[in-house]
């Protein structure tokens, strides 16, 4: 019963999150990167409040969009709680992120961002796709 209630809440709340985010979306970026650091698990899926987990990636190749730095911190929107369960530090992934000027819940975590940091853009991602080391953008889903 609890699972049904959580799913129902997710289905009613999630569309509102997407529509608000779409209004402040700047562009998207797709890249191949290496997981450098994984932040703390938010403890559960998004429901009444958006839940994010931070991950820092080293950029190997930009597949789509513009990004000039070597690293990127991504706020992964946690839907079912399992988006990052199989991703480990040092692994290569393909990932597409939305670039937004706003975010529903800003997470500050040591090694990622501090409360006093000015964040011009948030990079919001979903489930990364784990790939082999010698992957290129053409092989990403």
Does the reported pTM lie above 0.75? yes
Nearest in space to 113 (alpha carbons), one of 123, 99, 104: 123
Alpha helices in 1-140 (DSSP H): 2-23
pLDDT in the model for residue 26? 59
DSSP per-residue codes, 43-69: SS--SSS--EEEEEEEEEEEEES---S
For residue 105, give every residue at least 6 positions away whose Cβ sits within 8 Å of its Cβ, in sequence order, or none. 49, 50, 51, 52
Mind listing the domains of the chain with CATH numbers?
A: 2-136 (2.40.50.140)
Phi and psi at 132, nearest 5°, equal: -75, 165
Burial (CB count <10 Å: 0-12, 13-18, 19+), residue 22: exposed
d(CA 54, CA 60) in angstroms, rounded, equals 19
pLDDT in the model for residue 81? 78
Per-residue pLDDT of the chain (141 residues; tens, 9 = 90+): 444 433 443 434 444 444 344 444 457 999 999 999 999 888 766 776 788 999 999 999 999 999 999 999 999 988 887 789 889 999 999 999 999 999 988 989 999 999 999 999 999 998 899 888 767 788 787
Per the document, the length of the chain is: 141
- Are the CB atoms for 13 and 46 separated by under 8 Å? yes
pLDDT in the model for residue 3? 45
pLDDT in the model for residue 69? 94
pLDDT in the model for residue 45? 66
């Amino acid at each position: 019963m609890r699972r049904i209630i959580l799913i129902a809440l997710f289905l009613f709340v999630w569309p509102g999150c997407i529509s608000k985010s779409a209004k402040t979306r700047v562009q998207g970026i797709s890249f191949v990167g290496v997981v450098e650091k994984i932040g703390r698990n938010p403890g559960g899926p998004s429901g009444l409040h958006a839940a994010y987990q931070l991950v820092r990636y080293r950029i190997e190749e930009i597949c789509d969009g513009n990004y000039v730095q070597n690293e990127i911190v991504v706020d992964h929107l946690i839907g079912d709680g399992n988006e990052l369960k199989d991703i480990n530090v040092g692994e290569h992934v393909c990932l597409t992120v939305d670039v937004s000027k706003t975010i529903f819940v800003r997470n500050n975590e040591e090694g990622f961002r501090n409360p006093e940091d000015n964040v011009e853009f948030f990079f919001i991602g979903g489930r990364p796709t784990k790939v082999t080391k010698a992957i290129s953008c053409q092989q990403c889903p």
